Structure 1
């Protein structure tokens, strides 16, 4: 039996108030993720199955780490991509249908974009 129930949250650190506000705008207003908690130096946005936590510490942001990307489940990859592009963010893998060669085969529609901090975000629609 696993002691782990799932991923609780993904945390990002901003190095300026401008970066913090831009990051919140992206996740809250462009992707439509609602705020669940907010405090002086941070905010939590609830994706429905986990939380995106954003800090405004004012320090230097950490260097590039070992996290390759994180993925958001969606029912409409194409609508997400339209919203991201309309807001001026980079989509570096356009929406496409894939089949993950697993047993059983796992069909999905995916796209990748960059967020305000340069984070790689996968938009993932199970078929």
Structure 2
């Protein structure tokens, strides 16, 4: 039996909680599972459903910005699988989100593009 089964969640820290909450729940359409305000930390935690994986969105006062884009050590980017890349790009652009030109993965032949969340976290759409 393998040690790891799947990714349970990915955690993100945002600079502007209402703006990022809107982006992930309304623009990207992730379903809100739970939303908790943690008074002791003056911090919000928003749990969002992405298939069987959860995305956790946190707000922390005074969190430092990402040091560089996108080649800082640590998580490089978060990729979302989509069935129709052109439709997904059109949806994002209708919400004012700029996407890079669509490229083709030379190893798989699949198409993909990058865009950014409100804090410039690099996100990718990868066509299945």
TM-score (norm 1): 0.80
2:41 aligned partner: none
Deviation string 1:16-57 (CA, Å, 9 cap, x unpaired) is xxx111111111111111111211111011110311110122
Moved >3 Å (runs of 4+): 61-65, 96-99
Deviation at 1:99, TM superposition (A): 4.3
d(CA) in 2 for partners of 1:58, 1:79: 36
TM-superposed CA distance for 1:62, in Å, is 5.0
SS in 1 for 2:24: helix
* 2:36 aligned residue (24, 34, 39): 39
Give the total of aligned pairs. 117
| Counterpart secondary structure, 1:82 | helix
Please say if residues 13 and 61 of structure 1, whose CA atoms lie closer than 8 Å, have aligned partners that are also in contact.
no
Residue aligning to 1:117: 119
Retained in 2: the 8 A contact 1:13–1:62?
no
Aligned partners of 1:114 and 1:121 also within 8 Å: yes
Residue correspondence of structure 1 range 56-67 to structure 2 within 5 A: 56-61=59-64, 63-64=66-67, 65=72, 66-67=74-75
1:26: which partner in 2?
Answer: 23
Gaps of 5+ in 1: 101-105
Higher mean C-alpha displacement, 77-86 vs 26-35: 77-86
- Deviation readout 1:74-104 (Å, 9 max, x if unpaired): 1121222122222222312x2234342xxxx
Structure 2 unaligned segments of length 5 or more: list them.
Answer: 38-43
Q: TM-score, normalised by structure 2?
A: 0.80
2-structure distance, mates of 1:47, 1:107? 25
